[in-house]
Amino acid sequence: MEIKVLKNILDVNDQIALQNRNLLKEKNIMMINVWASPGAGKTTLMLRTAEALKGKARMAVIEGDVASSIDTETLAQAGVTAIQINTDGGCHLNAGMINSALQNLPLDEIDVIFIENIGNLICPGSFDLGEYKRIIIASTPEGDDKPHKYPLMFTVADACIVHKIDLIPYVNFDIDGFTRTVSGMNGKIEIFKISSTNGDGVETWADWVLKQLDNYRK
């Protein structure tokens, strides 16, 4: 009985994810699902990405949190179109939540939507939201063992961002070993090394986003 219930939940989610995907294709909008642990710097990266994409692509963020709207307020104050989803304890966003958010965004004024998923490296990887690409962020203060502990996320992601590289001299993070591990788990993954503090790697990342948008719209 429990297996049937789980299957029904995932079936419904996948059906709504398809609706989301069709809506976004109709509107010519690319959506990227962003995964990370709490404190990895998702919102800061979104701010830097918005700066790098200014004048090149119109960006919006769907912000997922268990509670509060702190990050959405931060984005809005910087001029980024953002909408908040609170899960009230839920460990992931689902396709229905994203569908509701899409209905409340000015889709005719957007080229790229980033989903800041709930901060954890387990639940979000199992739920299709209708996204075009999946990105995982690993910040250097977390340590370089995350691919070993949470392999699913790294295996199915399209790109991995090693964030806060400016802190490598001060933390225990073997970036070469991390890169080898992730590439060995997922031969197609692209890896970006970024510091949102000093801007290293941000332009390269933004160029990749624009390239994916161009591919999506072909």
Every domain of the chain and the residues it spans: 2-217
- At residue 130, the pLDDT reads 98
Q: How many CB atoms lie within 10 A of CB 44?
A: 15
- Distance of alpha carbon 13 from alpha carbon 58, whole angstroms: 28
Closest CA to 175 of 148, 199, 145: 145
- At residue 10, the pLDDT reads 75
- Superfamily of segment(s) 2-217: P-loop containing nucleotide triphosphate hydrolases (3.40.50.300)
Question: What phi-psi label fits residue 60: left (phi over 0), alpha (psi between -120 and 50 degrees) or beta?
Answer: beta
Strands (E), the chain: 30-36, 59-65, 81-86, 112-116, 133-139, 159-163, 190-194
Kindly give the pairing relationship between strand 159-163 and strand 190-194: parallel
Q: Give the chain's mean pLDDT.
A: 95
- The mean pLDDT of 99-117, rounded to a whole number, is 98
List pLDDT tens digits, range 33-87: 999 999 999 999 999 999 999 999 999 999 999 999 999 999 999 999 999 999 9
- Distance of alpha carbon 168 from alpha carbon 45, whole angstroms: 17
Question: What phi-psi label fits residue 39: left (phi over 0), alpha (psi between -120 and 50 degrees) or beta?
Answer: left
**What is the model's pTM?**
0.94
- The mean pLDDT of 89-108, rounded to a whole number, is 96
- At residue 87, the pLDDT reads 94
The alpha carbon of 70 is separated from its chain's Cα centroid by a whole number of angstroms, namely 18
List pLDDT tens digits, range 142-190: 999 999 999 999 999 999 999 999 999 999 999 999 999 999 999 999 9
